[in-house]
């Protein structure tokens, strides 16, 4: 039997992921993120990624991974153990084998030595995420080495065994390219979300509309000012950079007031640089300005000025973006020699909190015998040094062993528990090799906030930490903005936040186009929004007439007002965003590849091909909040969505209505008899409409396993609501519709009604 981890693929992948392994990014989350990148980079769907996985501490049992020579029973049982039914087993194997192939060094009996490149591909488009692995198998022209060739003689043709497990019903349903992409998006997400019960997932990760990145405070020479540096990243996927005429950054003083010192808070800086990911673009605004130490800083807000005369104000849930001037890592006075691992850290601690203990914590990787390094963390008390104006310097030295000093993350903390202030997650590799001297004010300038401030440029003396050689690189770690770089969203009015977060900032090495714009920093107060989503903003627009329910948005028709899903799920979970210019048109454009879109809480947008089984219609008056960018139209409310549907898009769906029947949800079979056991039929041309016609007069109809139809007036014992994605098999008579799954029914009912309008077919 071949070892389960044979070949270089595991080692090279894990070695790559190890680079990004920190106390804030688990290796298991990074592996999941690797699924997104590999699939998307080959032209596949954007697999939703949720954070929160906890790394295993011991190896799993051997023999768990199926081998090519195993029989169908073994395959089926292994997949059932992880929650995949027979259809999903076929789907995930097909989706996994649309790229790549089998390599000769590890499977020389299947791929003979001397084979070009030492590999036989699963299909004719080895690096393209398409359904050729399906169509070539069904057309009997496959070159898949696990379908044809030596594997057949050796009884190692595992793909052929799996694909044919249900007489090719599932494979035939995947011949539609859009259906293949949608199915793969669903089953690959299901695959990477097989986790222990104690794992609590975030919502799917999406970039914030506006995100402060690398914001850092540094006490300047003579201690009369501090430098605020870093950047503001603006997501411009749906807001062209050319439409942004300026940016206003409004900050509060140390005590939350508007005393910004004699020069006020108005500065002009230059913003520049556009970066791009698979699906998003970002415009970057570097920030570098001075803040008087006498008044300090506690938070800031961001306002974008648009060319249409409106503004977008972002205030982080009405709390502003917090930053503490209580403690600062002094990157110029700190240094790291990567070769020896010798680290010296200096922190500036405000004198009014200096009586508390000050500690340094260093977390870094250390090599192991495995591809992934382990993390170690060490803490030590920092030594009090000179008083410099309103601050006192504390220092500590530490030797990072293991030869991986450049992976260090540095935290400095004053105090403990709820009263602690900290500057955390600073990058060791951004420190210079030499600790630079600090020009001190006169000793008489030593003070606490509220007393006389240090003079602007007093006669100075110099202090220097551990000597080394090399140049200094100022730090731009995430500093005290820990809460702004979290991989999970803040809580919204609808119990769960929209998908507006990202797990890590874009690399500083990202290529940037040479574009720029002026950014104005002023003291103008911004308006707080009542929404509680991270990155929440307000929109300043002219007064408009009262909102109405829009019955039509392009090809999309209003289905009704729906409640959010329960059990931590979303009514529409394929893709989402939150934007402070939200309109029904913006959401429709964002969701143009999906059959459904829904607007919620004025500014949130959700997409999907199926409504979650636990999302139910409610009265239209429940959707009572106007769109943030269009006061004339309703955009849901707290835990309520204005749901729209279009059949003009590709890919299979569960339509909201079939004749007089409304979508009810995905339902399990009964434990003793069929869930709907009055009458039934089966047809290789099955559609939802034909089943509805067959069941005319009954309260419920349900389609199952692509071709079966069941009718009844009630459910039998043991039939319960199932995960919507369990009903993922395409109707044999209509590739744009879903007809249940194995032991799962796509159920429609005449009970209840939402405000249903004509659905464009």
Query: Which of the four pLDDT bands, split at 50, 70 and 90, describes residue 461?
Result: very low
519 and 269 Cβ atoms separated by less than 8 Å = yes
What DSSP designation does 324 have? -
- What mean pLDDT is predicted for residues 728-744? 88
Point out the least confidently predicted range of 40-49, 440-449, 460-469, 521-530.
521-530
Tell me the average pLDDT across 172-196: 90
Q: Long-range contacts for 82-85 (Cβ within 8 Å, ≥24 apart)?
A: 82/194, 83/190, 83/194, 84/187, 84/190, 85/726, 85/741, 85/742, 85/743, 85/744
Buried b / exposed e over 82-117, threshold 16 CB at 10 Å, is eebbbbbbbbbbbbbbbbbbbbbeebeebbeeebee
Q: How far apart are CA 214 and CA 231, in angstroms?
A: 6
SS3 40: helix
Beta-bridged to residue 267, according to DSSP, are 521
Structure tokens at 559: 């289905």
Q: Which of 380-394, 485-499, 579-593 has the lowest mean pLDDT?
A: 485-499
Average pLDDT over the chain reads 83
> What pTM value is reported for the model?
0.69
Question: CA 709, CA 703: separation in Å to the nearest integer?
Answer: 5
241 backbone dihedrals φ, ψ, rounded to 5°: -55, -35
Q: Which residues contact 167 (CB under 8 A, 6 or more apart)?
A: none
**Mean pLDDT of the 569-581 span:** 86
Residue 494 to residue 613: CA distance in whole angstroms? 18
Q: Residue 507: CB partners within 8 Å, gap ≥ 6?
A: none
Instruction: Provide the pLDDT for residue 443.
Output: 80
Per residue in 94-130, pLDDT (tens digit) is 999 999 999 998 899 999 999 998 999 999 999 999 9
Residue that is written with structure tokens 């998003």 in the block: 280
Count CB neighbours of 538 within 10 A: 22
CA 530 to chain centre: 24
- Give the 3-state DSSP-derived string for 479-529, with helices as H, strands as E and coil as C: CCCHHHCCCCCCCCCCCCCCCCCCCCCCCCCCCCCCCEEEEEECCCCCCCC
Contact between 312 and 581 (Cβ < 8 Å): yes
CA 347 to CA 383: how far, in whole Å? Answer: 10
| Distance in angstroms (rounded) separating the CA atoms of residues 300 and 316 | 9
State the pLDDT confidence band at 545, using cuts at 50, 70 and 90.
Answer: low
Query: Which helix (H) or strand (E) covers residue 693, if one does?
Result: helix 688-694
- Whole-number pLDDT of residue 222: 94
Which of residues 3 and 239 earns the better pLDDT score? 239
Among 355, 232, 215, 351, residue whose Cα is nearest residue 291: 215
Q: What pLDDT score was predicted for residue 753?
A: 42
Position 470 scores a pLDDT of 33
Whether 44 has a pLDDT exceeding 90, the answer reads yes
- In this prediction, residues 324-350 reach a mean pLDDT of 96
3-state secondary structure of 721: strand
Q: What tokens were used for 242?
A: 């050319």
pLDDT recorded at residue 754: 37
Which three-class secondary structure string do you get for 277-331?
A: CCCCEEEEEEEEEEEECCCCCCEEEEEEEECCCCEEEECCCCCCEECCCCEEECC
Q: How many CB atoms lie within 10 A of CB 567?
A: 8
On the CB side of 484, CA atoms within 13 Å amount to 31
Instruction: Quick: pLDDT tens for 470-516.
Output: 333 333 333 332 222 223 333 333 333 333 333 333 333 333 333 33
Per-residue model confidence as pLDDT tens digits over 195-246: 998 999 988 888 888 899 999 999 999 999 999 999 999 998 878 888 888 8
Q: CA–CA separation, 510 vs 214, rounded Å?
A: 15
């Amino acid at each position: 039997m071949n070892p389960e981890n044979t070949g270089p693929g595991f080692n090279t992948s894990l070695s790559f992921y190890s680079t990004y392994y920190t106390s804030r990014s688990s290796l298991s989350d990074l592996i999941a993120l690797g699924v997104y990148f590999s699939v998307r980079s080959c032209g596949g769907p954007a697999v939703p990624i949720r954070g929160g996985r906890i790394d295993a501490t011991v190896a799993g049992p051997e023999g768990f991974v199926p081998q090519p020579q195993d029989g169908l029973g073994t395959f089926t049982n292994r997949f059932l153990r992880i929650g995949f039914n027979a259809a999903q087993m076929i789907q995930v194997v097909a989706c996994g084998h649309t790229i790549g192939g089998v390599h000769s060094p590890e499977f020389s009996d299947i791929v003979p030595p001397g084979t070009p490149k030492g590999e036989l591909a699963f299909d004719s488009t080895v690096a393209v995420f398409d359904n050729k692995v399906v169509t070539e198998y069904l057309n009997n022209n496959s070159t898949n080495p696990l379908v044809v060739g030596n594997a057949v003689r050796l009884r190692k043709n595992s793909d052929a065994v799996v694909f044919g497990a249900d007489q090719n019903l599932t494979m035939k349903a995947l011949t539609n390219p859009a259906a293949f992409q949608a199915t793969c998006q669903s089953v690959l997400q299901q695959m990477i979300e097989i986790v222990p019960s104690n794992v609590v997932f975030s919502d799917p990760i999406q970039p914030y509309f506006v995100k402060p990145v690398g914001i850092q405070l540094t006490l300047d020479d003579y201690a009369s000012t501090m430098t605020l540096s870093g950047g503001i990243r603006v997501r411009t996927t749906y807001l062209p950079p050319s439409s942004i005429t300026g940016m206003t950054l409004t900050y509060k003083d140390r005590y939350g007031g508007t005393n910004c010192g004699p020069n006020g808070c108005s500065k002009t800086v230059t913003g520049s640089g556009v970066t791009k990911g698979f699906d998003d673009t970002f415009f970057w605004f570097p920030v570098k300005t001075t803040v008087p130490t006498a008044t300090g800083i506690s938070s800031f807000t961001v306002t974008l000025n648009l060319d249409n005369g409106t503004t977008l104000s972002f205030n982080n849930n009405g709390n502003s973006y917090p930053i503490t001037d209580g403690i600062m890592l002094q990157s110029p006075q700190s240094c790291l020699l990567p070769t020896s691992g010798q680290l010296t850290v200096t922190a500036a601690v405000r004198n009014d909190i200096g009586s508390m203990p000050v500690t340094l914590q260093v977390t870094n990787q250390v090599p192991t015998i495995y591809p992934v390094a382990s993390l170690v963390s060490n803490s030590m008390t920092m030594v009090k040094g000179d008083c410099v104006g309103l601050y006192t310097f504390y220092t500590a030295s530490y030797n990072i062993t293991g030869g991986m000093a450049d992976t260090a993350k540095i935290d400095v903390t004053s105090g403990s528990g709820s009263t602690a202030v900290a500057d955390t997650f600073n990058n060791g590799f951004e420190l210079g090799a030499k600790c630079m001297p600090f020009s001190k004010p006169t000793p008489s300038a030593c003070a606490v906030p509220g007393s006389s401030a240090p003079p602007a440029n007093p006669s100075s003396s110099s202090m220097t930490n551990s000597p080394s050689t090399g140049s200094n690189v100022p730090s731009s770690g995430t500093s005290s903005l820990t809460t702004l770089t979290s991989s999970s969203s803040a809580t919204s009015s609808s119990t769960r936040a929209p998908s507006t977060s990202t797990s890590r900032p874009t690399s500083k090495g990202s290529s940037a186009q040479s574009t720029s714009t002026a950014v104005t920093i002023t003291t103008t107060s911004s308006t707080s929004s009542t929404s509680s989503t991270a990155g929440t903003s307000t929109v300043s627009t002219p007064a408009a007439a009262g909102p109405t329910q829009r019955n039509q948005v392009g090809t999309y028709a209003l289905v009704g007002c729906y409640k959010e899903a329960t059990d931590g799920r979303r009514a529409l979970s394929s893709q989402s965003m939150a934007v402070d210019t939200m309109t029904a048109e913006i959401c429709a454009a964002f969701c143009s590849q999906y059959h459904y879109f829904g607007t919620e809480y004025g500014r949130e947008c959700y997409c999907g091909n199926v409504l979650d089984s636990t999302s139910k219609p409610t009265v239209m008056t429940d959707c009572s909040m106007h769109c943030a960018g269009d006061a004339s139209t309703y955009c849901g409310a707290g835990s309520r969505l204005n749901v729209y549907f279009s059949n003009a898009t590709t890919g299979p769906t569960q339509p909201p209505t079939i004749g007089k029947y409304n979508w009810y949800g995905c339902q399990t079979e009964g434990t003793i008899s069929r869930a709907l056991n009055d009458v039934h039929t089966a047809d290789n041309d099955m559609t939802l409409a034909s089943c509805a016609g067959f069941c005319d007069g009954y309260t419920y109809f349900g389609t199952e396993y692509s071709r079966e139809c069941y009718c009844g007036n009630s459910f039998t014992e043991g039939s319960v609501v199932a995960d919507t994605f369990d009903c993922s098999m395409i109707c044999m008579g209509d590739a744009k519709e879903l007809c249940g799954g194995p032991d799962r029914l796509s159920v429609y009912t005449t009970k209840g009604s939402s405000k249903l309008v004509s659905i464009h077919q």
